[in-house]
Structure 1
């Protein structure tokens, strides 16, 4: 926490009042940001959960078809197809309260070459399509997870900043302001007493 430097007298009171106003306004703005981030984070967590379940389902389907195909023709049937080009991933981005994160991810899986041999059996043909679907689902899951993490990190950071303002900085300013105002009030009271004493003394001499 930064050292609190306060000028003496009324200048210090003015500085503290302004600082306290800024701190309270900042805390209010961060509270609003926190509510928006919390709502968005919950939405992204739900989207990630759905995307992960979809990915796991697609992968399980692909593995099931592959097992059936291998039972029919053996593992040597996996070597009948030539390697393909890598899948291409495209991510679109958006932002929530200044936090940049993925919005969607699409994955283009290369189509089979017409000249390459067909899968050895129908089960492996279905496995091929199911694995392509699983790859696309994995990309969507990764994007959803990255979005949830980015917004979640900002949520935690904002929560820490609000806590620092509400629990530490604002109370320090309030305490310092109360101390300065008490000192000023004491000085004004002493000045009033001195003025009254001078006035009474002058009246007795006249």
Structure 2
């Protein structure tokens, strides 16, 4: 937050401070509403990410178990032969916006199918391992998207919370103090102006009496 600019003296300055204070209070209220929504969304995304992490770990464990069996049955040569014709998976991220925060909403993972012309794995365990790793890759993509979404929304929660604190603890109190000083100065100026007018009125009245004599 930047410092408060010096307001011009008089009623114009007081009106400017009053307007700035009203804007700051409305802004803080809106940010607090946003913060409540973001916190709820962040909690939801954390639950989604935790569930996705467990699913990915379970599927990865299953795939590694089948891989170990395949290695024991056919050795590394069988694994190399089975992996030679497998292409890389493709991941497409779907994006959304929540309260101004752009984050992943999900992913579409395309795991390539073994070409019909390619030789099949030499043992059944490697066939199961291939399928299990395909499921694990999809789960990994879902976890990565959920984790990234939770991280991005969580960062916005922190940033919004800091902005609310800055408004509530520093900016709004400073504006209120400045407004109080402006009220006091305006009241004092009006009082002094009233005193001057009374003195001027009395002086004018006294002058008229002296002329009459």
Q: Does 1:57 align with 2:53?
A: no
**RMSD of aligned Cα (Å):** 1.6
Partner of 2:2: 2
Partner of 1:191: 193
Could you list the per-position Cα deviations for residues 138-176 of structure 1 after superposition, in whole angstroms to 9, with x for gaps in the alignment? 011111111111111211111111111111111111010
Could you list the per-position Cα deviations for residues 44-68 of structure 1 after superposition, in whole angstroms to 9, with x for gaps in the alignment? 1111111111111110000011111
List alignment gaps of at least 5 residues for structure 1. none
Report the alpha carbon displacement of residue 72 of structure 1 after superposing the two structures with TM.
2.1
Residue 74 of structure 1 aligns to a residue whose secondary structure is helix
Say whether the 8 Å CA contact 2:66–2:125 is kept in structure 1: yes
Residue 193 of structure 1 aligns to a residue whose secondary structure is helix
CA 83–5 in structure 1, closer or farther in 2 if over 3 Å, else same: farther
**Rg comparison, structure with higher value:** 2
- Alpha-carbon distance in structure 1 between the residues aligned to 2:193 and 2:92: 75
Say whether the 8 Å CA contact 2:85–2:118 is kept in structure 1: no
Partner of 2:115: 113
More deviation in 68-77 or 97-106?
Answer: 68-77
Partner of 2:13: 12
TM-score, normalised to structure 1, is 0.93
Structure 2 counterpart of 1:131, from 127, 130, 133: 133
- Alpha-carbon distance in structure 1 between the residues aligned to 2:69 and 2:111: 23
Say whether the 8 Å CA contact 2:38–2:153 is kept in structure 1: yes
Structure 2 counterpart of 1:173, from 168, 172, 175: 175
- Alpha-carbon distance in structure 1 between the residues aligned to 2:105 and 2:38: 15
Partner of 2:43: 42
Report the alpha carbon displacement of residue 186 of structure 1 after superposing the two structures with TM.
1.1
More deviation in 23-32 or 2-11?
Answer: 2-11
- Alpha-carbon distance in structure 2 between the residues aligned to 1:65 and 1:2: 61
Instruction: Give the 5 Å matches for 1:91-170.
Output: 91-170=93-172
Residue 144 of structure 1 aligns to a residue whose secondary structure is helix
Partner of 1:89: 91
Report the alpha carbon displacement of residue 203 of structure 1 after superposing the two structures with TM.
5.3
Alignment length, in residue pairs? Answer: 206
- Alpha-carbon distance in structure 2 between the residues aligned to 1:117 and 1:191: 101
Structure 2 counterpart of 1:182, from 181, 184, 199: 184
- Alpha-carbon distance in structure 1 between the residues aligned to 2:2 and 2:101: 27
